[in-house]
């Protein structure tokens, strides 16, 4: 054996197997460390923001949403961080003074600037969606509605956000986006669990949206979505003029017409079972007929004396008259010849459905108890009601008997809920801190935050990652043992050789 070969035998590090094993171990450790770094990288807490203005018939609300920047396609990640109620009435009330509509948004938009970090302002989208109040104004006076929209557009463009448009949304959109909101917030969209139907009651329109069990017989009422890899076939309908403020006008106009026919006193006395005994309020006839929801009627007097007598069952009889259920060209209808499949599944009822039922403390009773309680409430003298609720606005306070009865009649006689499925309706305002309503769904849709297919998440699922790491560690450990054994064997051989 020459000298060089002898050195090789003596020094086991010069054996190819050992060199190979060592390189393998080092490589293994590098791979393991790299994977754990990528997998467990602390996620930077960066948020993105979006602003939606809900320009309703009665008022405008500004909603600010926030979501983690890197998780925008995951369900349930967007949450509402702030709301601001614009002072005054809805933008459609500025028909005679369109500039006022834009100006009215100022305070809330300044607040939005303070709530959202300045470095995000320029990439924060702002959307304004106007609902039934503006739909009615457009029917009455299209130029005025365009001027109001131009005014809010001009105002919103003066802020440092990314202005994305101000438009009147359709009743179908209002219903469908309300449905998306409640199901997104309940995280129903990427699971095989059932979805929640959506019931929205506004001042000028009301929407019903759900997944029916039967075929949808009218094209206008059907909407299809593909969200997170699931197909949804929705029934939706929006009844313009059947929000609670317009319904009150409809109902009052019918009472006024009969009172007018029966008496010629001036002012005309309109006796109303939907208002408390002792309630007496002077209204102008114009304030009842100032809407395209009704045909003008020739009334001899300009003023009425609106007198309450608080009788719940007579109130319900009078409200039934605003629903036309005499004709239906489909297998089933709700009212006014509108197709509606049987209600199916659980429902979330929000907006004025909640405000009214919550005030009346009627959010969790059976239908029979709800009727009994409402009957008692309606017959309570107005004087007592004012004493009991000194902090509630008198306009709201005077109308809760009517509104509660309207809600019951709409749900039971209009949408065909029964005492059996009454408790499938949850009256709710918020879900996990965010308001139920169309605004969140609208933003999610316009920012493409709900993908059609389920998004990929981590490099590998958590379970797979853990299994992989355990096996890889064991594998490297075995290699290490083998290397040790081999090292010892070679050293011994070398020592023997020397001896």
Ligand X SMILES: Nc1ncnc2c1ncn2[C@@H]1O[C@H](COP(=O)(O)OP(=O)(O)O)[C@@H](O)[C@H]1O
Positions marked active-site: 174
Interaction of residue 351 with ligand X, rule CB under 6 A: yes
According to the binding rule CB under 6 A, does residue 404 interact with ligand X? no
203 vs 348, beta carbon nearer ligand X? 203
CB of 450 to ligand X, least distance (A): 23
Among the residue ranges 89-97, 200-208, 339-347, 420-428, the one whose residues contact Ca ion (CB under 5 A): 200-208
**Residue among 86 and 450 whose Cβ is closer to ligand X:** 86
**Cα(337)–Cα(325) distance, integer angstroms:** 7
Tell me whether strands 197-201 and 347-351 are parallel, antiparallel or unpaired: parallel
| Partner that binds at residue 136, options ligand X, Ca ion, none, CB closer than 5 to 8 Å by kind | none
* Under rule CB under 6 A, residue 202 binds ligand X: yes
322 in Cβ contact with 214 (< 8 Å): no
389 binds ligand X (CB under 6 A): no
Q: Nearest approach, Cβ of 353 to Ca ion (angstroms)?
A: 11
Pick the binder of Ca ion from 202, 212, 273, 348 (CB under 5 A).
Answer: 202
Under rule CB under 5 A, residue 171 binds Ca ion: no
Give residues with Cβ within 8 angstroms of 353, minimum separation 6. 199, 200, 201, 407, 427
CA 382 vs. chain centroid, Å, equals: 35
Q: Which does 404 bind (CB under 5 to 8 A by kind): Ca ion, ligand X, none?
A: none
Chain length of the chain: 499
Residue 178 binds to ligand X (criterion: CB under 6 A): no
Query: In terms of CB distance, is 168 or 315 closer to ligand X?
Result: 168
Nearer to ligand X, 243 or 341 (CB): 243
Q: Where in 437-496 is the site for Ca ion (CB under 5 A)?
A: none
* Separation CA 11–CA 243 (nearest Å): 92
Pick from 47, 53, 68, 50: which is nearest to 124 by CA? Answer: 50
Q: Using CB distances below 5 to 8 A depending on partner kind, what does residue 58 bind out of ligand X, Ca ion, none? A: ligand X
Q: Is 205 a binder of ligand X (CB under 6 A)?
A: yes
Do residues 162 and 190 make contact, with C-beta atoms less than 8 angstroms apart?
no
CB 243, min distance to ligand X, A:
4
Question: How many binding residues for Ca ion (CB under 5 A)?
Answer: 2
User: Is 59 or 255 the residue whose CB approaches Ca ion more closely?
Assistant: 59
Residue 129 touches which member of Ca ion, ligand X, none, C-beta under 5-8 Å by kind: none
Nearer CB in complex with ligand X: 244/306: 244
Binds ligand X (CB under 6 A): choice among 48, 59, 260, 276 = 59
Q: Any contact of residue 197 with Ca ion (CB under 5 A)?
A: no
Does 58 help bind ligand X (rule: CB under 6 A)? yes
Question: Taking Cα atoms as reference points, which of 443, 433, 449 lies closest to residue 177?
Answer: 443
Contact window for Ca ion (CB under 5 A) among 102-110, 194-202, 334-342, 407-415: 194-202
Please tell me whether residue 131 binds ligand X under the rule CB under 6 A: yes
**Considering the rule CB under 5 A, would residue 56 count as an interface residue with Ca ion?**
yes
Closest to Ca ion by CB, 202 vs 308, is 202
410 makes contact, choosing from Ca ion, ligand X, none, with CB < 5 to 8 Å by partner type, with none
In whole angstroms, the minimum distance from the beta carbon of 459 to ligand X comes to 45
**According to CB under 6 A, which one of 66, 173, 245, 311 is a site residue for ligand X?**
245
Q: Is residue 243 part of the contact set for Ca ion (CB under 5 A)?
A: no
Q: Does the footprint of ligand X cover residue 57 (CB under 6 A)?
A: yes
Using CB atoms, what's the residue nearest to Ca ion?
202
**Contact partner, 277, from ligand X, Ca ion, none, Cβ < 5-8 Å per class:** none
**116 or 378: CB nearest ligand X:** 378
Contacting residues toward ligand X, per CB under 6 A: 56-59, 90, 131-133, 202-205, 243-245, 351-352, 355-356, 359, 396
Contacting residues toward Ca ion, per CB under 5 A: 56, 202
């Amino acid at each position: 054996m020459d000298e060089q070969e002898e050195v090789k035998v003596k020094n086991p590090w010069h054996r190819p197997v050992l060199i190979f094993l060592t390189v393998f171990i080092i490589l293994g450790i590098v791979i393991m460390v790299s994977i754990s770094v990528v997998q467990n990288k602390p996620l930077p807490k960066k948020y993105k923001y979006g602003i939606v203005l809900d320009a309703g018939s009665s008022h405008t609300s500004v909603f600010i949403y926030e979501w983690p920047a890197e998780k925008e396609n995951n369900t349930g990640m967007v949450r509402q961080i702030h709301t601001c109620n614009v002072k005054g009435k809805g933008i459609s009330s500025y028909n005679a003074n369109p500039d006022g509509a834009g100006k009215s948004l100022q305070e809330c938009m300044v607040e939005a600037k303070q709530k959202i970090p300045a470095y995000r302002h320029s990439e924060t989208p702002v959307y304004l969606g106007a609902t039934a109040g503006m739909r009615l104004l457009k029917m009455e006076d299209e130029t005025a509605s365009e001027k109001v929209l131009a005014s809010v557009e001009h105002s919103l463009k003066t802020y440092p956000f990314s202005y994305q448009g101000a438009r009147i949304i359709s009743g179908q959109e209002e219903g469908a986006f309300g449905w998306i909101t409640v199901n997104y917030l309940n995280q129903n969209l990427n699971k095989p669990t059932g979805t929640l139907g959506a019931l929205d009651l506004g001042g000028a329109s009301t929407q019903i949206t759900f997944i029916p069990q039967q075929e949808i017989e009218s094209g206008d009422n059907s909407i299809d979505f593909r969200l997170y890899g699931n197909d949804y076939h929705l029934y939706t309908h929006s009844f313009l003029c059947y929000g609670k403020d317009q319904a009150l006008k409809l109902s009052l106009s019918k009472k006024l017409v009969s009172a007018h026919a029966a008496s010629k006193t001036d002012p005309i006395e309109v006796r109303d079972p939907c208002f408390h005994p002792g309630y007496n309020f002077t209204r102008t006839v114009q304030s009842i007929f100032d809407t395209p929801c009704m045909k003008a009627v020739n009334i001899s007097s300009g003023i009425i004396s609106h007198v309450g007598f608080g009788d719940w069952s007579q109130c319900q009889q009078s409200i039934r008259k605003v629903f036309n259920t005499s004709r239906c060209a489909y297998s089933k209808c709700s009212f006014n010849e509108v197709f509606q499949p049987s209600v199916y599944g659980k429902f979330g009822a929000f907006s004025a459905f909640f405000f009214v039922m919550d005030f009346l403390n009627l959010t969790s009773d059976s239908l029979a108890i709800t009727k009994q309680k409402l009957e008692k409430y309606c017959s309570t003298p107005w004087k007592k009601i004012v004493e009991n609720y000194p902090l509630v606005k008198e306009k709201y306070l005077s109308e809760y008997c009517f509104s509660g009865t309207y809600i019951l009649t709409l749900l039971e006689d209009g949408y065909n809920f029964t005492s059996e499925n009454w408790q499938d309706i949850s009256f709710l305002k918020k879900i996990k801190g965010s308001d139920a309503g169309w605004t969140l769904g609208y933003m999610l849709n316009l920012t493409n935050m709900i993908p059609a297919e389920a998004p990929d998440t981590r490099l590998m699922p958590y379970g797979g990652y853990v299994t992989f790491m355990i096996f890889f560690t064991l594998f490297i450990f075995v290699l290490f043992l083998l290397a040790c054994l081999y090292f010892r064997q070679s050293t011994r051989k070398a020592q023997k050789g020397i001896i």
